[in-house]
């Protein structure tokens, strides 16, 4: 390069650098101006507004509103809510150790599922118990989030509850001590269908990869020759834990995730760093629309590396990475700092939060605009819409009847009464709802006055409005009236038609009262269509290999 060219290039670089500096200065000046305006408005309100303002509440609300304009994952946690963030990342909190649920009919919070060997369980609290007061504070009508805040606290601190128990007159006073509660990331694992190791992974919290490793080794000792990892409903968690779980099945040194953000510190490459424990056993991964983030990293990476067959329905599509930064006065900001890319180079992010419309909704990337990538073996996979399973068994949608039964808490209350009348039931893997019990449930619903609205009837009302608007009411009158008569909700007909589904829901709730979460899982696996498909594929080596082979 001659001197003239060097001088010219130096001038060009200087001009570009100057433009960047000026743009950066302008951005900082604009930011300072807006912050000054905001600060001035708060001061004016505090001085001159007709009533006293609550600065903390007002500013926290404004922060939440500001962050909602970015994406659903960028959140501010003030000091008094920092424990919520800790629970998300570690699965640990201090409280009574029970799932709670708001009981609409009773207008208070109910104990839904006390964890075994935790304070609530040890104190004798049962599913169905109604919480009336916490440390003397009346909680009737209070949201479950507010009640949860009252139940949590420092480990070892006392807690006084006023309880109302179904089937028992009067109120009960229960005293217990809060304890550190660690929610297990693996809800259940065991041998299924002869020699298949099944693992239900519900979260990606601290050290879940180590627990997964121990589960796999234990299953191998029990004779497992293939594995099913159930990630359905798993909303994700820690990225490094997801990478370590993938590492259990793929060789050391493989690139699993690459993150790319606005600043250099957000750009990272995550590789497998340990020797795997199994690189040959067939694997099936179960996913659904609630499988997100770290779940998609595990499922997507094992798909990209042709190491597992993915079964179920398309995953959520969260390709964003969050980091946590401490801010003033003990608060934390969890913010999106990067997008992640799995081995094929694709990002699974489905929603474009940079172009939200006025009501806060974001558009989903249409399939026609997604890009084709390739797995290690050359199979086609796509970006932009979650992980698409290799096999998609036909899924059954929740009927209107079942939705209303769950919302009404009818099944929850029936299970409470059933437990009061029956000291024991058959074990979870053989328990069935007898026709006699189902008849009792039908009668219970009628005495309760249970009703529900058919969606088809609601749509017919809208259709009638459109028919009238278009001047067709007279010529369609007979047909519409005939259809209206047939679309009245018929409880007996619906309970007959959806008998199997209703029985399953009732059995599921009853089993929890006797055998807890583990029993509920064991029962639910008996008629699981995705699981049956996974068994069939893992038992058929030729079909398994064919799925993982590119179409020529």
Active site residues: 293, 304, 318
- 3-state secondary structure (DSSP) of residue 350: coil
Report how far Cα 541 is from the mean position of its chain's Cα atoms: 33
Q: How far is CA 362 from CA 31, 64, 291, 416, 513, in A?
A: 26, 18, 19, 42, 41
Find all residues with CB under 8 Å of 293, minimum gap 6, and list them: 204, 235, 236, 237, 316, 318, 320
* DSSP structure class, residue 468: H
The secondary structure of residue 281, as a DSSP letter, is S
Residues 428 and 522 sit within 8 Å (Cβ to Cβ): yes
Number of CB atoms found within 10 A of residue 130's CB: 19
> From CA 34, how far away is CA 292, in angstroms rounded?
36
Phi, psi of 497, rounded to the nearest 5 degrees? -65, -40
| DSSP secondary structure letter of residue 376 | T
For the stretch 38-41, contacts whose Cβ atoms lie closer than 8 Å and that sit 24 or more positions apart, written own/partner, are: none
Percent helix, strand and coil across the chain, each to the nearest 5: 45, 20, 35
- Nearest CA to 224 out of 538, 454, 10 is that of 538
């Amino acid at each position: 390069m001659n001197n003239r060219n060097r001088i010219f290039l130096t001038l060009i670089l200087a001009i570009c650098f100057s433009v960047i500096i000026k743009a950066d200065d302008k951005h900082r000046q604009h930011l300072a101006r807006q912050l000054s305006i905001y600060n001035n408005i708060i001061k004016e309100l505090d001085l001159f507004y007709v009533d006293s303002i609550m600065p903390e509440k007002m500013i926290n609300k404004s922060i939440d509103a500001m962050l909602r304009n970015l994406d659903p994952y960028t959140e501010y946690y003030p000091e008094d809510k920092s424990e919520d963030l800790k629970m998300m990342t570690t699965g640990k909190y201090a409280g009574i150790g029970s799932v709670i649920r708001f009981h609409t009919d009773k207008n208070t919070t109910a104990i839904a599922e006390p964890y075994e060997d935790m304070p609530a369980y040890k104190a004798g609290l049962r599913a169905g118990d109604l919480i009336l007061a916490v440390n003397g504070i009346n909680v009737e009508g209070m949201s479950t989030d507010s009640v949860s805040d009252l139940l949590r606290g420092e480990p070892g601190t006392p807690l006084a509850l006023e309880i109302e128990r179904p089937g028992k007159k009067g109120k009960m006073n229960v005293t217990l001590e809060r304890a550190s509660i660690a929610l297990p990331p693996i809800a259940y694992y065991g041998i299924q269908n002869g020699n298949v190791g099944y693992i239900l992974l519900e979260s990606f919290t601290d050290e879940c990869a180590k627990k997964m490793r121990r589960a796999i080794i234990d299953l191998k000792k029990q004779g497992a020759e293939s594995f099913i990892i159930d990630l359905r409903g798993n909303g994700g968690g820690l990225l490094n834990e997801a990478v370590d779980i993938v590492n259990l099945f793929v060789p050391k040194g493989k690139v699993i995730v690459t993150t790319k953000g606005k600043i250099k510190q957000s750009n990272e490459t995550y590789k497998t760093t340990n020797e795997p424990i199994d690189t040959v056993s067939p694997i099936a991964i179960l996913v659904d629309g609630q499988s997100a983030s770290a779940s998609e990293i595990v499922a997507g990476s094992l798909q990209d590396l042709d190491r597992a067959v993915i079964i179920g329905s398309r995953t959520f599509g969260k390709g964003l990475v969050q980091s946590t930064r401490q801010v003033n006065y003990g608060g934390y900001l969890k913010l999106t700092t990067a997008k992640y890319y799995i081995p094929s180079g694709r990002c699974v992010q489905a929603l474009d939060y940079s172009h939200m419309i006025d009501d806060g909704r974001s558009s989903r990337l249409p399939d026609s605009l997604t890009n084709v990538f390739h797995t290690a073996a050359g199979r086609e996979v796509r970006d932009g819409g979650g992980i698409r399973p290799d096999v998609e068994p036909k899924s059954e949608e929740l009927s209107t009847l079942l939705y209303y039964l769950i919302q009404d808490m009818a099944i929850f209350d029936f299970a409470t009464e059933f437990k009061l009348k029956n000291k024991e039931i058959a074990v979870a893997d053989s328990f069935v709802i007898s026709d006699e019990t189902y008849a009792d449930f039908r009668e219970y619903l009628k005495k309760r006055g249970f009703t529900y609205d058919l969606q088809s009837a609601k749509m017919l009302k809208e259709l009638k409005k459109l028919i009238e608007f278009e001047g067709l009411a007279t010529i369609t009158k007979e047909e519409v009236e005939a259809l209206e008569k047939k679309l009245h909700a018929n409880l007996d007909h619906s309970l007959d038609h959806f008998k199997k589904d209703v029985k399953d829901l009732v059995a599921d709730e009853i089993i929890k009262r006797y055998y807890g979460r583990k029993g509920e899982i064991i029962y639910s696996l008996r008629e699981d269509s995705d699981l049956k498909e996974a068994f069939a594929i893992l038992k058929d080596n030729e079909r398994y290999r064919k799925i993982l082979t590119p179409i020529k």
